[in-house]
Amino acid sequence: MHTHTAPVRRTQVERCCWPSSLRLLTVCALIAGCSAADTDITLDAKATLNHRIQSLDLLVFVFLLALTVLTIWLFKHHRVSWLHETGLAVIYGLIVGAIIRYAGTNTTLVHMQVEPQGIPTYNAKLPPDTLWFKYPVNQTNATKLPEGVKTYAYVFRGQVYDIEENEIDLKATFDPEVFFNIILPPIIFYAGYSLKKKYFFRNLGAILTFAIVGTTLSAFLIGGVMYGCVKLMPNYLSSSFTFLDTLYFGALISPTDPLTILAIFHDLHVDVNLYALVFGESVLNDAVAIVLSGAIQNYGEHYSNTGEFETTAFLRSLSDFFCIFFLSLLIGAVMGCFTALLTKFTRVRDFPLLESALFVLMSYSTFLLAEATELTGVVAVLFCGICQAHYTYNNLSEDSRQRTKQIFELLNFLAENFIFSYIGVSMFTFPKHHFDAGFIITAFICAALGRAVNVYPLSWLLNIKRKPKISSNFQHMLFFAGLRGAMSFALAIRNTVSDARQTMLTATSLIVIFTVIIQGGAANFFLNWLKIPVGVDDETEQLNNYQVHSSDGYLQDVEGGGGGRGKTRLSSGADSNLDTPLDGNAATATIAAGGRRRNSHEKAILARIWGNFDTKYMKPLLTHSRPTLLETLPVCCNPIARLLTTTQQLTQDGSEFRRVDSDSDICIDNDTGNGLSQDGLGVGRRNSINRVSIRYMGDTQNLLASYRNLE
C-alpha cells in the first residue's frame, strides 16, 4: 500500500490574473522574502497575497458595476433603447471575463496526496472534519523530522471528482451559495416590497395559475422533451443524463426574470395589467422554481434508490414541495406581521433611524430563520416583503418609508447588476463549463417551448372565465417577456459536480445571456409591433376600470357588506390602504373594485374574501387603520380588541378630516358613474390630509385625553 511515491504535485490552474504590475510586484516581494526568512514569514506573505487577490477580484466587479452605471447613464441620457442595463452588465462581464481568461498568467496551486498516519482505522462513516499535517519547516535539515516540524490544520472542502483533470476552483469565481445568501435575498425582498398591489390582487388568479401551474407544467415538459432528445443524441452525454437531471434543468430554466423586462415596461409605462401579470408571475415563479428544484434534488438524493420513477418517492417529494413552499410563505408572512405589530405598538417611529434599523433587521432575520429551519429563505423574504409593504409600511414614519424604499432599491440595483456581470465574467473564468452544441440548441428550443406551454394553453383556460380577457397580443408579449435570469443561473451554478450538470450550466448561461441581450433589446420593438398600449397612466387606467365594472357595481357591494353599516365600514376600511408603497392610492380601488366584481369569476371571489378579512381583521390589528377591532370583532371580544387598538387608531375618527374622507367614500359608492373623478381627486386629497391628521395626532398627551373622552 505504501510502495508508490507521490511527491508534491503541481497543478497548473488558470488564474484570474489581470496583467497589472501590482500583482507581479507582490509575487516578487514574496519570492524576495522567501530567500531570507523562514516558513512562517512566507506563509504570512502568502496570506497577504491571497487577501490582496481577493480584494482585486472584488475590485474588478466593483469597477465593472461602476462602468455599467456610467454607461447606463450615457444610454439613458441619449435615449438608447436597444440595450438595457442588465444586458450591458452581461456584455461588460463577457469582455472582462475574456480579458481575465486570455491575458491572465497561471498560478501554481500545490497539492499533496496524504494518508492517515500509522494504521488507518476508518471507524467513522464520514471523512474527518480536519486533517492535521506535520510539515518540516526548516529546509536545510530535511532529514531530521522531529526538530523543525510544525503541524498545520486542513479543513474539509469537498470531494475531488476529476483527479485526472486537476482542476481546482478559480478565485475569480464565488461560492455559488453567495447568490442564495447574499445576492438573491435583497432582489427578491425588493420585488415583494415594491409589488404594485392593486393590479397584483386584481390579476391574482392569472398570476397564480401562470406561476404555480405554468412553471410546474413547463418544468416537466422541458424535462421530458430534453430527456428524449438527449437520449437520441449519439455522444457520451446520453449516458450521463438521468431523467432527474433533465427535470432539474426544466425546473431551473422555467422561471422568468423580472428585472430586465420590467425595467423596460416601467420606462415605457406599459399597460398596467400586462405589467402586473409579468411582474407577479416572474416574482412568484422564482419562488416556485427554487422550491421545485430543491424537491427534485431531494427526490434524487433521499427517496429514490434506483433513479427511476417511484410513486412513494414522488409523493414524498410532492409533499416536500408544498410543505417547504407554504411553511416558507408562513414564516415570511408571520415575520412581516410581527414587524407590523412591533412598529404599531411601540413609538419607535419617533426615532426613524432606529425604526429603519428594526425594519432591516427583522426582514433579514426572516431570511435567516427560514434558512435555519431548513426552509427556503428566498421564498420567505418574498412574502415578508409583501407583508412589510402591505402592513408595516403604513406604520412607519415618513422618513423610514423613504429610507427603506431607497435602501432596498439601491441594494436591488447593485445585486442585480452584480449577478449579470458575474454571468458574463463566469462564462470565461468558471472552470466547469462544458460546451455541447447539440444540448445547447435543444435547450434553447425547449426553453421556448416551455414558455409557450406556460402562456398559451393557460391563457386560453383563464380566458374562459376571465372578464377582461388576455388578448392574443398580450399572450404573445407574455411569451416574449420570458427572459431567463438570475434565478436560473444561480440554480444552475449551485451544483456542477457531474458532466450533465456542467453541460446544463453552460446551456443556462447562454440562454440567460441570449434572452437578456437579444430579447431584452428587442422588447421595445415587439411592444410596438404587437401594439401594446404604452404610456399608460395609472390614474387613467383606474378610471377605465371603474367604467368597465360599473355595470355590476353598487348593489352587490351593499349586499356583500350587509347593508348600510357594512358599506360604510368597507369604505372607511379601504382608507387604511392609502399609504402603500409606490402606489399609495391604489389599494383603495382594489378592494372597492373587488367588491363590485363579485360574479366576474371565481378568483375574484377568493380575492374579495381575502380583501374583506384583511380589511376587517388584519389591517385593524396590524396597522393604525379604521375600522378598529372594536368595531369588527364580536362584542364578547371587546377587552382583547381594546388591547389591540391604539389610541392613534381610535382618535383618528375624532378629527374633522376623517369625516370628510368617509363622506367622499360614501359619495363614490352612491354614484359610481359620477364619483369617478371625484374619487381620483378625493384619494389624492385624503392622502395628504391623512398625513396632516397623523402629525396632528402626534402628541401623546392629546391622544390620551381624547381616548379617555371616548371611553
| Residue 498 binds a copy of itself (CB under 8 A) | no
Using CB under 8 A, pick the residue from 24, 37, 318, 637 that binds a copy of itself.
37
Neighbouring CB atoms inside 10 A of 444's CB total 16
Q: What's the chain's Rg over C-alpha atoms?
A: 30
Which one, of 270, 210, 140, lies nearest residue 454 by Cα?
210
Q: Which of residues 56-75 bind a copy of itself (CB under 8 A)?
A: 56, 58-59, 62-63, 65-66, 69-70, 72-74
| Residue 123 binds a copy of itself (CB under 8 A) | yes
Note whether 118 and 1 are within 8 A (CB). Answer: no
Q: Which of residues 357-376 bind a copy of itself (CB under 8 A)?
A: 357-358, 360-362, 364-365, 368-369, 371-374
* Stretch in the footprint of a copy of itself (CB under 8 A) among 212-220, 351-359, 469-477, 610-618: 351-359
In whole angstroms, give the CA distance from residue 101 to residue 433.
13
Using CB under 8 A, pick the residue from 24, 82, 106, 128 that binds a copy of itself.
128
Q: 130-149 mask for a copy of itself (x: CB under 8 A)?
A: xxxxxxx--x--x--x----
3-state secondary structure of 521: helix
Q: Which of residues 168-197 bind a copy of itself (CB under 8 A)?
A: 168, 177
- To a copy of itself, the closest distance from the beta carbon of 234 in angstroms equals 31
Neighbouring CB atoms inside 10 A of 66's CB total 10
Exposure letters 386-415 (e unless 16+ CB within 10 A, then b): bbbbbbbbbbbbeebbebbbeebeebbbbb
- To a copy of itself, the closest distance from the beta carbon of 89 in angstroms equals 12
Which one, of 208, 295, 221, 207, lies nearest residue 253 by Cα?
221
Using CB under 8 A, pick the residue from 28, 82, 103, 152 that binds a copy of itself.
152
In whole angstroms, give the CA distance from residue 48 to residue 57.
14
Q: Which of residues 308-347 bind a copy of itself (CB under 8 A)?
A: 342, 346-347
| Residue 79 binds a copy of itself (CB under 8 A) | no
Note whether 611 and 594 are within 8 A (CB). Answer: yes
| Residue 698 binds a copy of itself (CB under 8 A) | no
| Residue 155 binds a copy of itself (CB under 8 A) | yes
- To a copy of itself, the closest distance from the beta carbon of 682 in angstroms equals 29
Give me 385's grid cell: 416583503
* Stretch in the footprint of a copy of itself (CB under 8 A) among 98-106, 112-120, 444-452, 525-533: 112-120
Instruction: Give me the DSSP letters along 199-258.
Output: HHHHTHHHHHIIIIIIHHHHHHHHHHHHHHHHHH--STHHHH--HHHHHHHHHHHSPPPS
Looking at the DSSP assignment, which residues form a beta bridge with residue 336?
Answer: none
* Stretch in the footprint of a copy of itself (CB under 8 A) among 54-62, 252-260, 633-641, 687-695: 54-62
Give 161 or 460: the residue with its C-beta nearer to a copy of itself: 161
| Residue 266 binds a copy of itself (CB under 8 A) | no
Give 9 or 465: the residue with its C-beta nearer to a copy of itself: 9
| Neighbouring residues of 362: CB distance < 8 A, sequence distance ≥ 6 | 335, 338, 339, 342
Give me 138's grid cell: 526548516
Q: Which of residues 389-448 bind a copy of itself (CB under 8 A)?
A: 402-403, 406-407, 409-410, 413-414
Give 89 or 217: the residue with its C-beta nearer to a copy of itself: 89
In whole angstroms, give the CA distance from residue 590 to residue 609.
13
Q: Which of residues 529-568 bind a copy of itself (CB under 8 A)?
A: none
| Residue 15 binds a copy of itself (CB under 8 A) | no
In whole angstroms, give the CA distance from residue 411 to residue 614.
30
| Residue 256 binds a copy of itself (CB under 8 A) | no
In whole angstroms, give the CA distance from residue 456 to residue 461.
9
Note whether 205 and 398 are within 8 A (CB). Answer: no
| Residue 348 binds a copy of itself (CB under 8 A) | yes
- To a copy of itself, the closest distance from the beta carbon of 60 in angstroms equals 9
- To a copy of itself, the closest distance from the beta carbon of 367 in angstroms equals 8
- To a copy of itself, the closest distance from the beta carbon of 304 in angstroms equals 12
According to DSSP, residue 644 is labeled T
In whole angstroms, give the CA distance from residue 336 to residue 388.
5
- To a copy of itself, the closest distance from the beta carbon of 3 in angstroms equals 7
- To a copy of itself, the closest distance from the beta carbon of 122 in angstroms equals 5
Which one, of 237, 189, 693, lies nearest residue 407 by Cα?
189
| Residue 24 binds a copy of itself (CB under 8 A) | no
* Cα distances (Å, whole numbers) of residue 326 to 314, 548, 677: 18, 35, 41
- To a copy of itself, the closest distance from the beta carbon of 388 in angstroms equals 14
Using CB under 8 A, pick the residue from 78, 79, 117, 437 that binds a copy of itself.
117
Give 157 or 531: the residue with its C-beta nearer to a copy of itself: 157
Give 33 or 584: the residue with its C-beta nearer to a copy of itself: 33
- To a copy of itself, the closest distance from the beta carbon of 392 in angstroms equals 14
| Residue 490 binds a copy of itself (CB under 8 A) | no
